[in-house]
Amino acid sequence: MPTKIDRRSFLKVLGLGGAGAALAGCDRPSYATLEEGEEQVFSYLAPEEYVVPGIGVWYASTCLQCPAGCGVHGRVREGRALKLEGNPDTALNKGKLCQMGQAALQTHYNPDRITKPRIGDQEVTWPEALAHIQSKSGGATAWLTGAISGHQAVLLDTHLHARDGGGKHYAVETVNAQAWQAACADTIGDARPELHIDKANSVLSFGADFLGTWISPVKFMADYGAFRSAPRGVLTVIEPAMTLSGANADHWVAARPGSEAAVALGVAYTLASEYGVSTSALPSGAADAIANMTPDRVMELSGVEAQTLSKIAATLMSNSPSLVIGDGRYETAAAAMALNMMLGNIGATITPGVDLVPADLAMRNGSTKALADFAADALAGRIDSVFITGANPAFTASGGLKIKDALANIPLKIGVSMFEDETTQLCDVVLPLASPLEDWGTHVPSSGAGRGEIHVQQPLMEKLHPETLGLGDILLGLAQDAGADGLADFEDYYGYLRTAVSALIGTDQETAWQAVLQAGKVQAPSGERAFTANGALNIQIADTQAPSAGQLTLITTARQGLYDGRHANLPWLQEAPDQISKAVWDSWAEIHPKTAAGLGLKDGDYITITSSAGAITTRVFLYKGVHPDAIAVPMGRGHTHYGRYATGIGVNPLSVLDGTQDVRTGEFLATASVRVQATGDNRHLVRLMDVDQQYGRKLAVTISADQHRRNQTNNQGSA
Amino acid sequence: MSPDRRKRSPFPWIRTIMAVGVVGALIVLGGQMLEHERRGGESPMTESGPRVPNAVFPTDTFAGKDIAQPINYSHKLHAGDLGINCLYCHTYARRSKVAGIPPTSKCMGCHTAVATADDKPEIAKLSAMWESGQSPAWNKVNDMPDFVHFSHERHLQKFLFDNPDMNIQDSREVCAMCHGDMVEVGVAKKMRPLTMGFCNTCHENNDGPADCTRCHK
Ligand code: SF4
C-alpha cells in the first residue's frame, strides 16, 4: 500500500529536508555556485571627488514621466543611477514619487533605446542626419511635443521664430485637464487656480481622477492624506467607470457616460431647493441651467436618483469648506465650478495661482485639440516639416482623426525620440534622444504648486549611448543653425541653462549654481494672479439617454501606470497590477454584471467592440464599478511598434474613438457609441487578486466607512 | 551641432591631482617601507593563519584557479617585499562595502617616478592604458553572489579599528582572514571558499550576527 502523505506532513518533511540541507551546507560547503573570473571589475581612472565605490550619492533632478514635473532624488553608485525617490524639499511632491516616476529607471536602461540617428532605414551619423534635415526643411516647420515648459520651451520658440518660414508649436497630451482649465478661465478668470484638497472638509469629484492621473497626482495624494486626517474629510465621486479616486470614495455614484454635468447641476438644484443656497451670483446662463435641472430630469439623463442628490447636498452643506472638481467635458467642469461658487469655495479651497515673471518659461499645456489642429493644418498642406518629440500621435490619436493621412501629407517628419514607436515608424529621420536621467532642463510643475518654484533637471549619470543627445542640446543646435540671435556663444545646452538660471537668480557665482543643483529647484520671480468677475457661462447639457438596444457607450480610461501608453514599454508598469481590475500584461473591458448577463457574456469572454471608427477585440472583466450603459477599456496597451515589452500586448481603445470634439474646448471626447459581439473564445484574465471576496477567512479585516463612523460616534457618545 | 560638443572636460583638475599624488605617494610609501624594514621585513603570518588577536579566524582553504589578468601586477612584490599596506591601495575598504580597485591615477602616482614604463613592460601596458584613458578590465577573483550583502567596512571596523590589540599597519592580517595571505600569490587567487558555511562558522566563533537578513537583504 502506498504511504499516504497529507499536506501537513509533506511540509514537515520539507522542513526537515531543508534544515538538513542547510546543516550540510555549513558542514561541507559546496563550492559549485561561486564564481571566479566570470565578471569584470573596472577602477576609476582618477578618483571622482566625493565618490566612494559602494556608497550611493543622491543627486536632485526632475521626473519627466508625466507633465506634473515632480522633483526627484536619484541614488548614483559607481556612475550608475540605481534608485529614484521624491525630492523632500519641493513644495510640489514633498519627497514622494509615484510608480511611473519610480519606473523612470526602466525608461533609462531600456534595451530598446534608439542609439543612432537614422534616415529611413539607414543608420547615419549626426552630421549626415542634420545635413539631410537642413536640405529638406524649407518652408513652414512645426514642433509637435507633449506638455513642455522651462528653458526647453523657450529654445523651441526661439527655433521657430528664427526660421524664415515661421512655424507653429502643437503641444499634445491625451490625458489632460483642458475642460477644467477652460471652465476655470470662464468662471474666475484663472485657468490654473491652486486647489487645496487639504483645506477642504469634503471633496466632490465628477470624473477627475486626482489620485491617479489628474494634473499632479503625487501632490494631490499628499493633500489627500491631510484631507483624510482628523477631522476626516468626506470624498464623493460621480463617474461612469470607477477610477482610483472613485475606489477611495466614501460615496461612489455611477452616472451614465456624459451625464456628469446633469448630476452636478442636479446637486446645485437640490442645494437651492432644500437649503436655499442662492444662485444669483453665478454667471448668467448657469442659474437657468440649474433651475431647469430638476431631479426628474437628472434621473432621466443620468439614472441618478433624487435621494442621492439630497445625500450629496447634505454632505456638502455639513462639511464646509468643500471642493468640487470635474473634468472630461466642458459642461461637467463648468457645472462643478458653478457649485464651487454657490458653496463659497472660491477663495477658500480654490485660490489664485501665480504668473512666472519670465512668462516664456510657463507650462505649455498639452491638449487633444492641438492634435486636431495639427492634423487639419497638415491635411491642408500648411506644414512642410515637423519635429515630433514627447508625443506619439500615431498611437494616441482618436481613430476618427485619420492622423496617419495627416502625417503622410507632411514632406519631412523628424522623430526626436528615445524609442521607436508607431510615430517614429512614419518618420523620415529619427534623432536619438538622451534619457531624462542624462539630460539638463528646467520644468514648471503643472499644478502651480510652489508658487514659482521651478524644478531643475540634471544628469544623474553619463550617457549610456554616446550618440544620443538631450532635447535642449538639439533645440539649441537647431536654433543656432537657424541663425537665432544671442545664442552663438553657447557651446551646449548646459552652458545656456547655467547662464539662464544665473539670470533668474541674479548671480552667476559657482556656489549659487551648486546650491540650485543641490536643491533641484529654483525660485523664479512670480506675480500673484487675481480672480476676475465672469461673463456668461454656456452650459449645454448633452441629451444622454440609455443607449438603444445592442449599443453601449465605450469609455477610454486613463490609469496611473501605462498612462496614455507611453509607459507600456516598462515591464515594471506592465507587471504592476491595475488599480481597479488587478490585471497585468493585458487589456480588458469592464462591463457591469447585469449588462453582461443581458448580452450573455461571462468573465473572460472575448468580445469585439465596434464603433464607426474601428474595432478592437479584448476580453470581458465583470465589474460593478461601471455604469450598466457603459463599457470601459483602459488606454495604454495595444502598441504595434513600441519595443519588445509593449508590442502586441493588449488593445488600444483610443483607436475606436470616433473623433467627436467637445464644443467649447475642441478636445476629443473619450467616449464612443459601440456594438459588442462575442467571438466565442474565453480565457482567464490574469489578475493579482483573482477573487473579490475572502470567503469568510478574514485575511484582511475591513469595515465599511459608515460602520467606522458609527463606531466613532458611539465611542464619543459613551466617553 | 554635433553630439560630441561638450563644454566640461571630464578631468579638469587631473594635472594638479597627479602632481600632488606623486609627491604624496612617495612620502607615504617611503614611510611604509621604512616601517617594514624596521620590523625586519618578515611575514607576520603564523603557521596556522593570520594573527588577529581577539578573533577566531576561519581555517577553511580553497584552491582557486589561476585567472589571467590584463596586467601582471604582483601582490607579492607590493604588499610583501615592499610592505605597502593593503589599505593604501584598497582605500575604500574602510569606508565602503567594497574594497575597490585603486584608481589608475594612484598606480601612476608612483610609476611616473619609480619603476616607470621605460624599464618595465607591465608598467608600459599600464601607462598606455592611462594615456588612452582606459581602465584595466580586471577579472573578479573573489565574487560574492548578488544576493549576499557583504561590507568590508563593517569587518575592518570590528577586527582592525575597534580591536584594541591590532595595529593598523597589520591590516594584512585581517584581510587574510577571508582572502588568505595575498603575498603568496601573483596577481590574485581565491584562497578561501567564501561560502555561507565559511561565513557562518566565523560569525559563530566571533559573535557575528546570525539573522538571515543581515547578509541577505
Ligand atoms: S506624478 Fe508624474 S512627475 Fe510626478 S512622480 Fe509621477 S510620473 Fe513623475
Proportion of chain A above pLDDT 90, given as a percent: 79
pLDDT value of residue A16: 36
One-letter identity of residue A164: D
Tell the residue number behind the cell numbers 591615477, with chain if given: B105
The answer, yes or no, to whether residue A220 has pLDDT greater than 70, is yes
Distance from CA of A188 to the nearest CA of B (A): 46
Pick the atom of ligand 1 nearest to A96's CA: 5
pLDDT value of residue A27: 41
The answer, yes or no, to whether residue A14 has pLDDT greater than 60, is no
Query: Which of A221-225, A450-454, A470-474 is the least confident region?
Result: A450-454
- Give residue A102 CA to ligand 1 midpoint distance, Å: 9
Query: Which of A460-469, A526-535, B1-10 is the least confident region?
Result: B1-10
The answer, yes or no, to whether residue A667 has pLDDT greater than 70, is yes
A221 lines ligand 1 (CB under 6 A): no
Q: What is the pLDDT of residues B31-88, one digit of tens each?
A: 666 666 665 555 556 656 677 888 888 788 888 888 999 999 999 999 999 999 999 9
Among A31, A42, A474, whose Cβ lies nearest the Cβ of B193? A31
Q: What is the mean pLDDT of residues A674-688?
A: 94
Task: Give the rounded distance of the alpha carbon of A50 from its chain centre.
Answer: 37
> Does ipTM top 0.85?
no
Residue ranges in chain B whose pLDDT is less than 50: 1-10
Tell me the three state secondary structure of residue B89: helix
Q: Which residues contact A52 (CB under 8 A, 6 or more apart)?
A: B92, B95, B96, B100
Q: What is the mean pLDDT of residues A320-346?
A: 96
A37:B96 CB<8 A: no
Pick the atom of ligand 1 nearest to A69's CA: 3
B138:A42 CB<8 A: yes
Q: What is the mean pLDDT of residues A209-227?
A: 96
Per the model's pLDDT, the better-predicted residue between A27 and B139 turns out to be B139
pLDDT value of residue A13: 37
Decide if A178 contacts A665 (C-beta within 8 A): yes
Cβ density class A286-306: b for 16+ within 10 Å, e for less: bbebbeebbbeebbbbbbbee
- Give residue A69 CA to ligand 1 midpoint distance, Å: 6
In which region does residue A37 sit, left (phi positive, over 0), alpha (psi from -120 to 50) or beta (all else)? left
Among A54, A473, A476, whose Cβ lies nearest the Cβ of B92? A54
Q: Rounded to whole angstroms, how far apart are CA atoms A683 and A281? A: 56
Measuring CA to CA, which residue among A696, A551, A543, A544 is closest to residue A609? A551
The answer, yes or no, to whether residue A718 has pLDDT greater than 80, is no
C-alpha cell, A42: 573596472
pLDDT value of residue A497: 97
A212 lines ligand 1 (CB under 6 A): no
Query: What would the DSSP string read from start to end of A535-583?
Result: -----PPP---PPPTTEEEEEEE--TTTTTTTTTT-HHHHHSPPTTT-B
Q: What is the mean pLDDT of residues A80-84?
A: 96
A469 lines ligand 1 (CB under 6 A): no
Distance from CA of B40 to the nearest CA of A (A): 33
Decide if B87 contacts B93 (C-beta within 8 A): yes
The answer, yes or no, to whether residue A234 has pLDDT greater than 50, is yes
- Give residue A103 CA to ligand 1 midpoint distance, Å: 10
pLDDT value of residue B15: 65
Measuring CA to CA, which residue among A513, A506, A386 is closest to residue A440? A513
Query: Dihedrals φ, ψ of B126, to 5°?
Result: -60, -45
pLDDT value of residue A449: 76
A301 lines ligand 1 (CB under 6 A): no
Q: How many residues appear in chain B?
A: 217
The answer, yes or no, to whether residue A215 has pLDDT greater than 70, is yes
C-alpha cell, A164: 524664415
The answer, yes or no, to whether residue A25 has pLDDT greater than 60, is no
pTM of the model as a whole: 0.86
Average predicted confidence (pLDDT) for chain A: 91
Q: What is the pLDDT of residues A628-664, one digit of tens each?
A: 999 999 999 999 999 999 999 999 999 999 999 998 9
A76 lines ligand 1 (CB under 6 A): no
pLDDT value of residue B35: 64
Proportion of chain A above pLDDT 70, given as a percent: 95
B5:A491 CB<8 A: yes
CB atoms within 10 A of CB A132: 18
- Three-class HEC string of A38-59: CCEEECCCCCCCCCCCCCCEEE
A126:B1 CB<8 A: yes
Whether the bond into A321 is cis, omega within 30 of 0 = yes
* Interchain contact B205–A (C-beta under 8 A): no
The B residues from 159 to 188 touching A (CB cutoff 8 Å) are: none
Dihedral sign (CA A397, A401, A404, A409): negative
Query: Which of A4-18, A148-162, A546-560 is the least confident region?
Result: A4-18
